[in-house]
Structure 1
Amino acid sequence: MSEELARNVRRYRRARGYSQEELAHRSGLSVGPVRRIEQGQDGFRMETLHSIARALGVKTSDLMAPGPPEPVKLDDPNSQNLRELRIALTPAIGLAPAGSPVGDEPDLHRLRRMTHDNSVLYFGDTYTSIAAELPGLIKAANDAVTYYDSGEQRTEALVLRSQALNVVGRYLTQIRQFDLAHVAARSAIEDARGAGDDLVAASGVGGMCWLLIRTQRFDEAEDIAVTTMDVVEPKIMGATPDQYATWGGLAMEAAAAAMRNNRPEEAVALRRAAGTAARAVGKGHRNYLRHWSRFGPVTAAMKELEDHMIVGDARSVIRKSRDEEALQEKHWKRLGGPSTNDGHRYRLDLARALVRTGDPTAAMEELTHLDEAAPEWFCHQASAAITFEEIAKKRRTLTADMRRVGTRLGVFA
């Protein structure tokens, strides 16, 4: 993407009549990053690209175009670590007719429990355990769908497989196995649609949106989230917490995509919609199967803070973390606290804001806490590595704890 990005940035800059120095100033950057991007160098941060897009008045996606593929590392450990999951998710097929289902009738109650338990492991950031369990979960779900060819049990089996694949897709997205994650997310949506369950399908769309955001496909993420919101929009009277939570979760995904794509007005409107759904829920609502996680006032407030970090407004993050009721832990018993994952991500945003407002010590305390509380989740967070590097630049020497955290994040690898 480097050559195409360089060409696009240069073209838009010249069309605006900006010098590299003026573009850097309008972007809130030094001139160095602008020059390196236009020279086709790699290693820039997405937030740098967001800043340049805002200064040029274009969407971030307008600056990005596909380039030639990079060489694949021969020693990629995930090619073997995920072998069983890859086989379960993408089985080989040939021209021979599919065999008839064999064995005992599937236990759908057990399959539902397996899916729920894996969801709890995922949202609890227990990745080692879930990695070992997912191949068996996929096989059990496939067996159930194969066994039942019609009727209510067929519908239930499809819903259960959709929910299982949604968990699989989210896990793979978290560990950056994006192509495999897309297979799981797409299949999850198709199964739920086949079962005629729009709410479960919408939950799958939420997982797909997150995957698209993480792979910089912002236009598509916003589009499918908004169009799905239209399908599952709760009625004014009689809507269930599941309906509000699913609709509000989609609004948050759409807002995240819009803000990253330099569409702040759309993002604000979508955040407002998420806030409306959160107030309708009243207290944090949890349903790990039908809905993606927990949703409520606390979750909506935490996700909105991400928008401030995207535009580089670290001071607003600090101020809101201190002033907004929903972000005060003492109010969480009444409002319903966040999921473990959302709570950790909030503290990661707070760490980034702290180091950028001149408090690297407090920022390091947040990173150390996250490393101790959720090491399996923490090591996959690119923004944690960026924050650590910013902290390290402000220190002459690193403590043993800092070196341990840096090693966990791959900074010293």
Structure 2
Amino acid sequence: MKRLLKYLILTIVLTVSYIVIIFLGTDKGWWYTPFTHEKAPDAFVVSVQEELQNEYVGNMAIAVFENGKLAKESFHSNGKTVDRNTVFQVASLSKFVSAIGVMKLVQEGKLDLEAPASQYLTRWQFPEGNFDSNAVTIRRLLSHTAGLTDGLGYAGFEHTKDVQSLEASLTNAQDADPGSDGKTAVGILPGSEWRYSGGGFTILQLLVEEASGQTFDVYMRTEIFGPLQMTSSFYEWDETFGSRLCDFYRTDGSVAQHRYYTAQAASALYTTLADLEKLFYFFDGDHSNQKPLSTEFQKRMWQVEAKTLGAPIYGLGTFLYTEIENGEYIIGHDGKNNPPINTAFRYNPMTNNGIIILTTGSTDFATRIASDWVFIQTGKIDALLFVMQQDKMIRTFVIGLFVILVLVISIALIRRTTK
């Protein structure tokens, strides 16, 4: 019995040690190999174009910044020509921009970050549940810590006539992605954990309309895009941009259909590479003359509001990809939707370096390239790259556990034989 206990303890010690090594190795990038080691913008973009040949990407627009200046642009298309003025849908990258609009209302005193969202709502209210909806504050909605369990994911609608009202979508989103019941409700204790919620940003969209007296699209065009001169950015489809809209593709290369959204703040921003470059300059005070948001409120968005697995993950509408130094993080947001749209925005506030990538036809190309850019710049695995590495980490763990079991059993058999 004592011998069995010794082997059991040995197995546990080896397993725990192995788990720690695998987790730290994945988190620290000890054995991660990026798609390129080129750091200079020109060489990096050449490597991106080479990487495009290894898989299907329908359209791509990319911009790389160095020391606060645009260093390189590049484009790719399988159909209609793509350039810096081509209009893309950017999926959940919309949240990053929408949050700026919410924070402007906070700056003006029209919304209070600590106030219950229900205090401002007249057109819709949270359904009854087991948790106090008054604990759902605007801060928690912006940071995905409001206790919402909707799991949305919006697939959009094929025709504009089918697009729901905001109130109807919050009650039961008819375009919910598979796996969600489409209901926006408080399902866990507000403030208890970070749980990504598309429904939370749809509530914020409604709050903006209630507080401003304007539709969300009109408010964002007037208060955010106007001052930044983002003249080709909007949330509600505008037919005047029809000839500039990029083609949509599925992963097999077949043409996909343009989708329309109720959840504009969460999923529906239309913009161009040129306009997102102006947004990039907004973060650098030396470039932006007409800032819709003060530097103080802008930087509030970059403070840690939520953690996962003990690591900072999110601010106010902003991913915190990896810590650089002195409590500063590479910030931005990614977007992913179907038919395949994948977008990424990364900004380093210490160096004013950054990258923007917009794609259609691929589920993860933009995120992988942007995360590798972070790794090349900092030597660190960013939050989304860590998530993408989890399947590999689990496979490695399973293989290692098998090896450990075989090793311990072999030791036991050898010792038994020798005795």
Q: Would the TM-score normalized by the shorter structure come out above 0.5?
A: no
User: Which range, TM-score by smaller chain?
Assistant: under 0.3
Q: If the length of structure 1 is used for normalisation, what is the TM-score?
A: 0.28
Instruction: Give the greater-gyration-radius structure (CA).
Output: 2
Higher relative contact order (CA 8 A, sep 6+): 2
Q: Name the one with the larger strand percent.
A: 2
Q: Name the one with the larger helix percent.
A: 1
